[in-house]
Each structure stands twice: as C-alpha cells, then as structure tokens.
Amino acid sequence: MLLQQRKNLSVTESACRSCGSEALVPILDLGRTPLADRLIRPENAGEEELVFPLEVAFCADCTLVQILETVAPEILYADDYPYFSSFSPALLAHSRANAMARADERGLDSDSLVIELASNDGYLLKNYVERGIPVLGIDPADGPAADAEKVGVRTLCAFFTEQLAQEVAEKYGRADVIHGNNVLAHVKDTNGFVRGIGHILKDDGVAVLEMPHLLPLMEHIEFDTIYHEHHCYFSLIALDKLFRRHGLFINRVEQLALHGGSLRIFAERTENVDASVTELLAHERAIGLDSADYYREFAARVAGLRDKLVALVGQLRAEGKRVAAYGAAAKGATMVNYCGLDHTQIDFVVDRNVNKQGLLMPGAKIPIMAPEALLEKRPDYVLVLAWNFIDEIVAQQAGYLATGGKFIVPVPEPKVL
C-alpha cells in the first residue's frame, strides 16, 4: 500500500521546469530521503516513512538547476506544516526593513495594494498594515495563515496559481508591490507562477522576490538546502530567462546574506535593467554557472564534506563526548540524513519553534526539544543545523557556550567554533 501511495504522491520530471528542455544533466544524487519538514510524532516513530528520490540536475539549455522529483504539494505542505517565519528575530528585522523600503520608494498609501505570495504568519505584511497600507496574503498552510489573520493580515489560505491570480486580480485588484520570499523555488508550476505574478501586477508595479542564490550554495557547499520543497536553485542567469519568457524584466538585484546567500530581484513590466543585474550576470557567466562543466565536481565536494563531518562526530563520540544539535531546520534533515547521523549519534536537537518541540526529525528521528535543554543537559558539542542563523544563535546561547560547550558549523566545511 505504501509503495502504491508513494507512486501516486510524486512524479519524476524528464523536462526542465523552466524551459521544457530534456537536456538535463544530473549533478548530485542525495538518495531516497524523507520529506524535510514532515516531522514525526514519537508514537509514530516505528512506522515506515515516505521517502522520495532527491536528485539534482542542470539544464544545458536554460541553465536552471533543479531537482527531478516533484512531490505532491498536499504532502509537502500538510496541515501540520511546521515552518513559521516569526521564530527568527533576524528574519523579522530583515523583512521589516524590506517592507519599509518598498513603502517609502513607491510612496505607498491607503490607496495602494501589497500582495505577498507565501505570506506565512504575516511576518512581513504586518509592517504595511501598521502604516495603513492595504495588504493581501496568500499561503496554503492553514496554521501560519491563521496566525497572520491574528496580526491583521488578510490572508487567502490557498496555493498561488495562475488561475487564482486571475481571480485575485478581479476580486482585489492588481498590486503596486508583490512580495514572494522563498516561494518561487517551492512551486510545482514555475512558469504558471511567474505568469500569475504578471496577472496581479499593476502596469507600474514591482515584484520583489527573494530566493536562495545558487552561487553561494555551490561555493560554500550548502547542499543541505536541497530538499523536496525546493524544486529549483536559482542563478540570476536562469531567473532572467524565466521572467523574460513571461514579459517581466529583472531590472535590479540585491545580494543578501540571508539563508546562506540569497537574491532579492525586482521584476517589472518594462525593461530598465541597471548595473546590479548586468554585473551579476557577467560574474555568474565568468564563473561558469551557465556551463555543465562547473557542476562536475560538486557531488565529490559534497561527499567530502559528509566524510569530514561523520569522522568528526565519530571521533568526539569515541572520546566519550555527547553531541546534540541546534535547529530542527528542513536543511538540517538533509544534512543529518545524507550523513547518516541519527538519534544514536545526535542525542537531541533544540529548536525555538514550539510547533516542532516534542516531535522527531524525519529519517534520523532525533528528538526535538526547547533550547533550554542545552543548559539542562549540557552536551559537549552542538552541531548547528540552522547555520544560516549562527550569529543570532551564538548570541542567544552565550550561557551554554560559557559553560564550555562548543558549536560545530557544518558548512562550508565542518568546523568547531
């Protein structure tokens, strides 16, 4: 039955998600893995988990890097989808600055409309609400959507599709500003999503989208950011081709440190490309992001990182040291499962997200506890799976570090801080 279920719950793509080409060059195979955000209730720990292939390919025609398996969104974003943006003060500050800058740049007021795709718990749109600027959030996860309504963010609990875009434009009007942070990589219909943005964007509007950037992923071996929720891994080259295909022009780009290195692109209906775009495109081409040769060594580099981390944890445990982890992040699931580090080597993982506490990480079945457990249980080492928030976590856990505890950061190579 489970095998049959599995067959109906995912599709292996043979054509590029952006351009439709079948010139897909495999570059990394992370094996059959559980869904990174599908946490396990302890009472279900003995049950077989759904696992799906996690293989990455490069499109030789449009250069998009992408995974080949598409898991049904209803499975990826089940009712108990645990990701809430507001558990990171750094992300909240980053998002507030983004909203305020757009409101000021565009002179937004009570006659404006700001729409966010994947608006989660209202973490970003609430900043516009405070300034009396009308907003509309769109998010398929009912938990975060319910939290958004509590902070005054009107939210449609639905997947954003081209069809929904047309309905939104008719019912709510078109937007002056569209936000979409860490969502473009998540959608099944990449082209339909971008066309949908076109349907809800005013003629003089701007779509401001953030997504992890392929370049730092490759340079810092951030392979753990690869999981089934993320169908695509974007270079600006691939993004530019995707948006131009649908009459939208990336006129400006900002490079952000967030999530291990992200892009913030500004897409508009009229072409007016500035130096930030032409320079980054030239840089990506100079490095070779648009050539299959650039990716040939990546799998070996990932395996090398894994071998070093496994050896380090093994050596510490052989010395009688206790090892825990910080951040039951989706990326953390890829990291521990690809490295084969399960609850027999990692005693527990702490996470501030109360919706995750008391559950087990997928695959590795590492128990998730509140951060206070670090001072209560005093592990000798803590593997920081949410390494993208390392500064915030180090500051927050000064007490634990003061006891002599040590952090291990896994990328770009395993290092004890």
Residue numbers at the binding site for ligand DWN (CB under 6 A): 83, 87-88, 182, 229, 259, 327-331, 351-353, 356, 386, 388-389, 392-393, 396
- Pick the closer one to ligand DWN by CB: 35 or 62: 35
Q: Minimum distance between the CB of residue 340 and ligand DWN, rounded to whole angstroms? A: 19
Q: Minimum distance between the CB of residue 395 and ligand DWN, rounded to whole angstroms? A: 9
- Pick the closer one to ligand DWN by CB: 13 or 392: 392
- Pick the closer one to ligand DWN by CB: 205 or 327: 327
- Pick the closer one to ligand DWN by CB: 37 or 55: 37
Burial 358-370 (b: 16+ CB within 10 A, else e): ebbbbbbbbbbbe
- Pick the closer one to ligand DWN by CB: 85 or 112: 85
3-state secondary structure the chain: CHHHHHHHHEEECCCCCCCCCCCEEEEEEEEEEECCCCCECHHHCCCCCCEEEEEEEEECCCCCEEECEEECHHHHCCCCCCCCHHHCHHHHHHHHHHHHHHHHHHCCCCCCCEEEECCCCCCCHHHHHHCCCCEEEECCCHHHHHHHHHCCCCEECCCCCHHHHHHHHHHHCCEEEEEEECCHHHCCCHHHHHHHHHHCEEEEEEEEEEEEEHHHHHHCCCHHHCCCCCCEEECHHHHHHHHHCCCCEEEEEEEECHHHCEEEEEEECCCCCCHHHHHHHHHHHHHCCCCHHHHCCHHHHHHHHHHHHHHHHHHHHHCCCCEEEECCCHHHHHHHHHHCCCCCCCCCEECCCCCCCCCECCCCCCEEECCCHHHHHCCCEEEECCHHHHHHHHHHCHHHHHCCCEEEECCCCCEEC
Q: What's the number of CA atoms in the CB half-sphere (13 Å) around residue 15?
A: 7
Q: Minimum distance between the CB of residue 353 and ligand DWN, rounded to whole angstroms? A: 4
Q: Minimum distance between the CB of residue 236 and ligand DWN, rounded to whole angstroms? A: 18
Output the residue with the shortest Cβ distance to ligand DWN: 329
Q: Minimum distance between the CB of residue 230 and ligand DWN, rounded to whole angstroms? A: 6
- Pick the closer one to ligand DWN by CB: 306 or 356: 356
Q: Minimum distance between the CB of residue 119 and ligand DWN, rounded to whole angstroms? A: 13
- Pick the closer one to ligand DWN by CB: 182 or 235: 182
Q: Minimum distance between the CB of residue 262 and ligand DWN, rounded to whole angstroms? A: 9
Q: Minimum distance between the CB of residue 131 and ligand DWN, rounded to whole angstroms? A: 25
Contact present, 47 and 1 (Cβ < 8 Å): no
- Pick the closer one to ligand DWN by CB: 329 or 373: 329
Q: Minimum distance between the CB of residue 391 and ligand DWN, rounded to whole angstroms? A: 10
- Pick the closer one to ligand DWN by CB: 233 or 298: 233
